[in-house]
Amino acid sequence: MSLKKQDDMDHNAWLKSQDLTAIETAFLTTLIWLDKRLRIVDYLELLETMYYRANLQMPKSHTEQYDLDNKFWYWYPLYSLGSLSIIAYLLAAVSGALLGFYYAPSTAGAAAQGDPTAAYDSMVMIMTDVQFGFMLRAIHRWAAQFMVAAVFLHMLRVYFTGAYKEPREVNWILGVVLIALTLLFGFSGYVLPWKQLSFWAAQIGGELALATPIVGEWAAQLLFGGFTLGQATLVRMYILHVFVLPFVVTALIAVHVGIVWVQGIAEPH
């Protein structure tokens, strides 16, 4: 037995026996070299499977089977509301990340009551000094409005077409949670500019939290940073808006869409 390493699949010999063009030889040599080190072939198989999956022919749908196409397409815009809210959410995320470069969550800088704070000043700076800043803020604001509107209309569509029925109860409940979180998203964003309306909206929110039996004081501390509004409130709303809610809402949206994918769209009869 020789000590020389035996290759049971001599790919190079096979390569030489083939009659290949220069391009083919280069491609195969690279492929073999990479495959020996990284086992690409396995991944190529996966890719191939995914390619065929992406081009899957959908089974004949209810609408096609009963020739409801004209009715269904008439109502189609109502069936795209869920994805519209996701698009608005993504737009708000992108514009919000850009706004985050300039915004400062601080109530410092007000010499007397009613003077502009650092947060307010940073908003004014965004709207007057930053290139494209005025538009950026408008985009963020309107993306939020569109998202909330789309989410509300999406719930109405699901309700009136009975799409929440068995076996889709879990997704309906998830949707209710997502609407509540979207409203909380909007509320926390409303507080951030620390305008007069922001402040008094937060004031009402704080009073509500405090009015809750048993957990009231704890909730007011946790969400609003105390019983009087100030720096702590603003920072908590800021962290809620840019850190906590984005992760939670994104994850829940993924689960929500995942369940729709698994269960299929409830089509109208």
Partner 1 sequence: MTDDTTPMTDGGTDDEARTDGGPPATVPPDDETPTWSERKERSQGLAQLTYQYFERSRREDEDLRAESTYVERDVLGFPTWPHETIRNLAITSFFLGIMLLVASILPGHFGDPANPGSTPAIILPDWYLYWSFGLLKLSPINPELAVLGGNIVMSNELYGLVAHGAIFGVITLVPFLNKGNARRPVEEPGWAALGMTGVVLAITLAVLAIQNFFPVPLELLFSLVFMLPVVAGIITYAVLKTMREGYMYDLNRRYFMLRPPK
At its nearest, how many Å lie between partner 1 and the CB of residue 242?
18
Query: Closer to partner 1 at the Cβ: 15 or 179?
Result: 179
Cα 259 vs. chain centroid, distance in angstroms? 15
Largest CA distance in the chain: 93
Q: What is the spatial distance between Cα 145 and Cα 211, in angstroms, rounded to a whole number?
A: 28
Six-digit token string for 254: 């993924």
At its nearest, how many Å lie between partner 1 and the CB of residue 25?
32
Query: Closer to partner 1 at the Cβ: 198 or 249?
Result: 198
Q: Could you give phi then psi for residue 224, rounded to 5 degrees?
A: -110, 5
At its nearest, how many Å lie between partner 1 and the CB of residue 145?
7
Q: What is the spatial distance between Cα 188 and Cα 249, in angstroms, rounded to a whole number?
A: 14
Query: Closer to partner 1 at the Cβ: 229 or 249?
Result: 229
Query: Closer to partner 1 at the Cβ: 26 or 135?
Result: 135
Q: Around Cβ 50, how many Cβ atoms within 10 Å? A: 10
At its nearest, how many Å lie between partner 1 and the CB of residue 16?
38
At its nearest, how many Å lie between partner 1 and the CB of residue 171?
9
User: Which residue, 154, 134, 132, is CA-closest to 88?
Assistant: 154
Q: Is 186 exposed, middle or buried (0-12, 13-18, 19+ CB in 10 A)?
A: middle
Query: Closer to partner 1 at the Cβ: 9 or 111?
Result: 111
